[in-house]
Structure 1
Amino acid sequence: MRIADYISDLLYRYECVIVPDFGGFVTNELSANVNHFTHTFYPPSKQISFNSHLQNNDGLLANHIASVEKISFEDAVSLIKNESENWIQSLLQNESVEISKIGSLATNEEGKIIFEPSTTENYLTSSFGLSSFSSPAVKRLEYQEKVRQLETIAPILPSEEKKRKTPVFLKIAASLALLFTVGSIGWNSYNENQYQKQLLAEQAQQEVVEQKIQQATFVIENPLPEITLNVLKETKNYHVIAGAFREPKNAEKKVQQLIEKGFDAQILGLNKWNLTQVSFASYDNKVDALNGLRTIKRTVNSDAWLLVKKF
């Protein structure tokens, strides 16, 4: 089984795919552009980059593999771990790692991972069917020289009537030379504008990634029947967060699991990313909340964090 194929499948639908304990592949949308040296035009696309700091398992890749291969979530995590360990071993031996349809990884003299994205795949679905094409360069100097030659050869007619009989092809040639010059200026301005847009997109990339890694996916083989929870208004303003979930049923499942373990868990509602937040417990004062947070991080979940919010 090739993990690369599943990563490639997910990059068409998501902007970030994380390989646990290895790194994340992040896509950034680029506008159409042109290579002035090869005179090649490229359609809009998604540029892939690699971030070695994104290593927490968000469940996206493992859940996808488990669904396609018809295996358990734990088995999928094990398969990903084996593949990532092989990649790490190759990099430690100064060998490059080729990931099909995605790119290649290698280490430099400082031991840092260098990623070279593949150019064979375009992960932007709105550009499906569009391919790059080349156009020969316009030889403006040659056209201008031909115009000058025509102006030299053309006779100078003294009468007003004969002046109006200037050959049509000479007027066309002069118009073409002017058109090419104006077009060149406009095209350079367009390229500068596209470059500025790309810089702004790259600056926004980190904010998008931070939002993505707060989303969690759980594989629920036997989901509980839909229930209605009456969330009472609390005066406790300090909450130790257990997780945030895209699906409300997953949040309800998590609450039930924590209550069975003895926690005073509850649903806190939606955050600014429209994810349902679940707490281990809530407290009246900050000192008790910090003590509870330290205990939970040490014994249960090191990713727990404290939310201060009034309801």
Structure 2
Amino acid sequence: MQLETYISDLLYRYDCVTVPEFGAFLTERVSAKVHETTNSFYPPKKVLSFNEQLQHNDGLLSSYIAEIEKIPYEVAVKKLAKHVKSVKSYLIQGETLTFNNIGEMLLNTEGKIVFTPSYHVNYLTDAFGLSQFVSQNIAREVYKENVEALEEAIPVAITPEKRASTSSATIWAGSTTKRPYLKYAAVALIALTIGGFTASNYYVNKVDAHNQIAQEEANEQLDAKVQEATFIISSPLPAATLSVEKQSGNYHIVAGAFRVEKNSDKKVQQLKDKGYNARKIGVNKYGLHEVVYSSYVDRIEALRALRQIKRTHNADAWLLVKALN
């Protein structure tokens, strides 16, 4: 019995998976965090733990085994109990048991189970596709201290401008007194400047108004020609009928999620080349384009296909239950 596979499947959808007469695997959601020492950013995830005190059979795992293996519920309960006895015997002999994608277990000196979770799988489906990354530290205070040190070492001195004792007004008055014709030349220059500026503005405004009127007339003529035009096709092409298979169902086997849509299109083509009925199902709330191997109406059929894909193509594939619009 692939007990760890069944437990792993259920941990994506439930916060507690109990193994009767053995213990319960629990998940707790934690937010994204930043490690201040290493500058590492960690996405939100589910933290996995084990509680040996919870051994009551809630029927979840047994029902799932019965559903997957197509056996009666009572047979699944007996089969699970037999496997649990085998696991306990290995622990009593001092062996360390490894559950794939879940963690390791062993007995301590007091006979209690010590569980070490695996960090290779994030059971939080909302964070699928998000991985850890490291960012360089931004030392703003260091730059500020360097600037302050430079200001202390190289002070900036502002020297006020010294003006001559004789003002420009005195010079202008003296010049015009000695040379009265300069006064009339200055007045004429100012008048010419003002007149030229006024004429230039008038000309520019005139050109803009003309261009606007011409543009409106051209648009009206174009609209009239379009309305009067008649398109006649002498030999129309025959109508083409395409048969497109539309996928349906709320059970989707996810192959990956991509930040860049071009990469998701490439992934869909790769899966189609391998014979899968792949497609994109939209963008999740993290802005990632999700690609699925296929969608199914029947949940059992989807789980059977998921196991086959995990075994032959992608061990990281997972089942998404989502109603598409």
Which range, TM-score by smaller chain?
0.3 to 0.5
User: Higher relative contact order at CA 8 Å, sep ≥6: structure 1 or structure 2?
Assistant: 1
Larger Rg: 2
| TM-score, length-scaled by structure 2 | 0.46
TM-score by length of 1: 0.48
